[in-house]
Structure 1
Amino acid sequence: MKKLLTLVFVSVLGGIITLSAYKLLIDNDQTITLEATQEQPQFLNANYDAKTANLLENTALDFTVAAENTIHAVVHVKNTAIVSAPQSLEDLFFGRQSSSRAQVGTGSGVIINKDGYIITNNHVIAGSNSISITLNDNRVYEAELIGTDEKTDIALLKIDADEDLPSIPFGDSDTAKIGEWVLAVGNPFNLTSTVTAGIISAKSRDLSGTESQSFIQTDAAVNPGNSGGALVNSRGELVGINTAISSRTGSYIGYSFAVPSNIARKVIEDIMEFGDVQEGVLGVSILNRNSKEAIEKGINEIEGVYISSVEDNSGAKKAGIKNGDIIKKLDNVEISKFTDLSGYIKTKRPNDVVNVEILRGNEIKTIPVKLSKSDIISVEFINMELRNLPSKFKKENNLTEGVLVQKNENAYLYRRLGIRPGYIITKVNDIEINSVQDISKFTQKYGTDAQDKIFKLEFIDTNKRRKEVIFE
């Protein structure tokens, strides 16, 4: 009997110990595992509500309408040029002429009205003997070159179709904002129109180092063959003409640049109305940031651009703009650097009135300024005063290049070459001189050694004879 009771007691005790161990170890582990598999909480804005949810849903990006409205107005541009092959020793020995061959370049273009006017880049059609346009539906037309502007890299073409053509309306590039979504539409390699998306990364970009350009920068993918294509906003409005990419390989790596639509529109309207581009100038020189003088004056710390000098006989001079004034705005467009100023002025013509907001001392003033013609602008160059040629003079004399000698105090050039007021400088060291800006580039490169760096000079004398001098 005792043995039986002992066996029962041991059995009960073993069961209690086993149950306790199970509850303590196994059951607790299982609870931890279950907790670990619970759904993580959602993190929302503190002010999130149904209204916010609807707003986020309604602002979802959708480019389908913009793409549909633009792809048929972007075309493929083919430029055919006849080039001469270099002469070989065999050609020279037998007195043979060098052979000619056709060289083909391609790009894109944008139809801007139903009558068949097309914008593209000047570099797309430069040197062409013939230009053909392929529409997005693969119809092909021969194009007429209406006019070009090398400075802004814009060209205007025209095709004649049997019916109205799809076109892209102009938008206002001045109101385009950094961070705004845009589409780059091109027709590269004749593959029909291609669309990529990105945002505006920056405005008023200059790639030349002379602050003469004012591009819209975007991260929308643009590759060779897209030059001349459209940059459009989410409403399908043209805000730029795709022109360049920043690349070490020749392919897109994240930076592309477009001529703002306001500049492109003004250029083609001038070409259509006047036959060439009408350049208006404010008539001021700006002190470059980071220069020694700018650092001494604390110019790098100001918001706006600092006027270092005002051109005589300019609209700015007549309106009362002074040295030391700081330009803050032009017609309510904020100006923080020179490319902002030059980009906006490129959308204007001579005699247009621009409201210039300046800071003079501690006082803000708004002064209306009538823009002058570009031929009032002059530069000093190796003791000569050079001035832009009037557009009318260029047209009457069939000139595409040259700057006028206004004054010459360089005794060497006067005595040896006879260069005097009225002469036209056309090339320096085989560099074509189209405006005083080209002279300024040369001066910026060589500074006070500019004259010593000249090995070749080409000019037109007062009898309209072209001459060339090589310095030894």
Structure 2
Amino acid sequence: MRSSLRLACLLAASLALGSPPPAVARGAPDSFADLSAALLPAVVNISSTETLSADQPDGEDNSGQDGDGPPDNGAPNGGAPGPTMPFPPGSPMEKFFHDFMNRHGMGGPNDPNAPPRKMQALGSGFIIDASGIIVTNNHVIKGADSITVTLQDNTVLKATLIGHDARTDLAVLQVHADHKLPAVSFGDSDKSRVGDWVLAIGNPFGLSGTVTAGIVSSRGRDIEQGPYDDFIQTDAPINRGNSGGPLFNMAGRVIGINTAIYSPSGGSIGIGFAIPSNDASLVIAQLQKFGHARRGWIGVRIQEVTADIAQSLGLSGAHGALIAGLEPKGPAQKAGLRTGDVIEQLDGKTVDGRSLPRRVAETPVGEVAQMAIWRDGKTLTLPVTIGKFPEEAGKQASDKPPPPKVLETSIGDLGMKVAAITDALRQKFQLQGSQKGVVITEVNSGGKAASRGLQPGDVIAEVQQSEIDTPAEMQDRIAQARADKRPSVLMLVQNSDGMRWVPLPIATAEAPAHPGRRKQQDQR
């Protein structure tokens, strides 16, 4: 009675002062037992084995598989699995088993006469169709010679791989049973909010049917595992062996696939990551239909727009995705996009350097997308026909832009010297024969160029989004930027790592820079 009266007084006071009423949390569930009982039959244990040669060390198999995951550092691969043993990886008896095998020359990694060994990875999965369709992580079954699935009632079934995708770390399996299997369905992960209750069910350290509870800790996490990172973070305890298991909302729908943890010790510290169901379901449908992912592709290399870059381009605020390179004859180039364009929207939805690759990948191949771009101080909209991501040359086409067009010359207050490209400089800096622009021949330590990471051998292809062929053209562009009172000049620079846009602070004609103060500012 008192608590109700107090809450009523608080609400009345808030309304009287014109402020919003205080948020009131819903009570925690009395128990998760009924929900767990309904969901457990659809969650399975997955065991995959791989045969390694006697001279192949643990954790260095030819397939690159590292074990059951999730990892200690947040990567989707876990620590190295041990040989087939009666104890699950991570159990207290695992070290004893390894030591015993090595001491007695029974197939230890240091025994040159050891026969081929069986490496085992344990993980989790869940049934999405009563006919026996199972979803898990790709790293759980990667490189496996055989895959077995254990149901909640201890039925063991042989599984076949329908399809897998390394970029999103997803895989789809098929098992055959003499009856329909219990299945769960996907929910709308976009509707899950930070603070919502969630359940994780899986096979941590080989302990089948383990249920843990927590909340959604954050959304949209990038753990630097790929171009499509958009993880749900949760504090529901997740450990090695939970990989591929479901993360449920309170309606019993799968809103995430548990994939990785962050932990300095290898155990749960309450920071786990799950692939959102809305991202996963698109890929899973393609794996079922084609055996591989058919993701959209436009053939651009992009980078984030920083505050310095935005100022150089005249953008109001740091937003959008800056094009740093174009794939020759790719969809973007055919549509008229250029290096230096800033992609602000895709089909009316705002994008940035992180979200654009994921949004493009989710767009059906062949669909025409409308892209709003910022170019030369104004916004245009260009139609781009989404292409199919190149299967073989995918990484090369996406990550390594074509060599830029470059030449050579020399400079002053930016702390570097440049030169037109000669045969001698091509040989010295190992430059491509087709490059045009200017090459940096010397960088002053403590200067502006050095503070932004520029080095001798870097090639400047564009200044202020205009191609340059001589150092004189470069100086003209810098002088024009000063006349336009730009705080920095934007240069497209290529080195062995690829292309990137680099903003360099410049002095305006009306307000010459104070080297000491400017230098200090640049180093912050």
TM, length-normalised to structure 2: 0.56
Tell me if 1:288 matches 2:253: no
Q: Which moved more, 1:306-315 or 1:142-151?
A: 306-315
What CA distance in whole angstroms lies between the structure 2 residues aligned with 1:370 and 1:382?
21
Query: Of 123, 142, 150, which aligns to 2:158?
Result: 142
Following superposition, the deviation at residue 266 of structure 1 comes to: 2.6
Aligned residue among 286, 294, 298 for 1:278: 294
Amino-acid identity (%): 34
Please, which runs of 5 or more residues in structure 2 have no aligned partner? 15-19, 57-101, 406-425, 428-457, 459-493, 499-524
| Equivalent residue, structure 2, for 1:454 | none
What does residue range 182-197 of structure 1 map to in structure 2 within 5 Å?
Answer: 182-188=198-204, 189-197=206-214
Aligned to 2:11: 46
CA contact (8 A) 1:285 1:308 kept: yes
**Separation in 1, partners of 2:349, 2:187:** 16
More off after superposition, 66-75 vs 138-147: 66-75
Q: Per-residue CA shift, 1:5-62, capped at 9, x if unaligned? A: xxxxxxxxxxxxxxxxxxxxxxxxxxxxxxxxxx9x946523389xx99x969x5444
Please identify which structure carries the higher helix content. Answer: 1
| Aligned partner of 1:81 among 34, 50, 54 | 50
Moved more, 168-177 or 299-308: 299-308
Q: 1:246 aligns with which of 251, 254, 262?
A: 262
- 1:175 to 1:332, Cα distance in 2 relative to 1, 3 A: farther
SS in 2 for 1:226: coil
1:450–1:105 CA distance, 2 compared to 1 (3 A): same
CA contact (8 A) 2:165 2:293 kept: yes
In 1, are the aligned partners of 2:305 and 2:318 still within 8 Å (CA)? no
**8 Å contact 2:193–2:216 — kept in the other structure?**
no
Match of 1:348 in 2: 363
Q: Give 2:258's aligned amino acid.
A: N
Deviation at 1:310, TM superposition (A): 4.5
Q: What aligned pairs does 1:191-270 form with structure 2 within 5 A after superposition?
A: 191-208=208-225, 211-270=227-286
CA drift of 1:121 comes to 0.9
The question of whether the paired residues in 2 share the 8 Å contact of 1:75 and 1:193 is answered with: no
- Residue in 1 that maps onto 2:354: 339
Which of the pair has more CA radius of gyration?
Answer: 1
1:260 shift after superposition = 2.4
Q: 1:72 to 1:329 in 2, by over 3 A?
A: farther
Distance 1:341 1:382, change over 3 A: closer
The alignment partner of 1:252 has SS state of: coil
Encode CA deviations 1:240-260: one digit per residue, 9 max, x unaligned: 211111111111223211222
Cα distance in 1 for residues equivalent to 2:330 and 2:254: 33
**Is the CA contact 1:222–1:252 (under 8 Å) kept in the aligned structure 2?**
yes
Q: Distance in 1 between matches of 2:24 and 2:497?
A: 60
Candidates 305, 310, 313, aligned match of 2:321: 305
After superposition, the Cα gap between the structure-2 partners of 1:366 and 1:290, relative to the gap in structure 1 and judged at 3 Å, is: closer
Matched residue of 1:45: which SS?
helix
Q: Evaluate the alpha carbon distance shift between residue 284 and residue 142 of structure 1 in structure 2; reply closer, same or farther with a 3 A threshold.
A: same
Which letter maps to 2:11?
A: A
User: Matched residue of 1:82: which SS?
Assistant: strand
- Aligned to 1:111, the other structure's residue is in SS state strand
**Inter-CA distance 74–100: structure 2 relative to 1 (3 Å threshold):** same
**Residues 54, 113 of structure 2: 8 Å contact kept:** no
Counterparts in 2 of 1:346 and 1:383: CA distance versus 1, 3 Å: closer
- Secondary structure of the corresponding residue to residue 346 of structure 1: helix
**Structure 1 residues 212, 384: CA separation in 2 closer, same or farther (over 3 Å shift)?**
farther
Root mean square deviation of aligned Cα: 4.3
Q: Secondary structure at the match of 1:338?
A: coil
In the TM superposition, what is the alpha-carbon distance from 1:103 to its structure 2 partner? 2.5
Residues 354, 240 of structure 1: alpha-carbon distance in 2 compared, 3 angstrom cutoff:
farther
Q: Are the equivalent residues in 1 in contact too, given 2:188–2:255 (CA < 8 A)? A: yes
Distance (Å, rounded) in 2 between the aligned partners of 1:320 and 1:133: 50
Deviation, structure 1 residue 123:
1.2
- Give aligned pairs, total: 346
Task: State the 1:150 CA deviation.
Answer: 1.6
Is the contact made by 2:310 and 2:317 (CA closer than 8 Å) also made in structure 1? Answer: no
Aligned mates of 2:248, 2:278 — CA distance in 1: 13
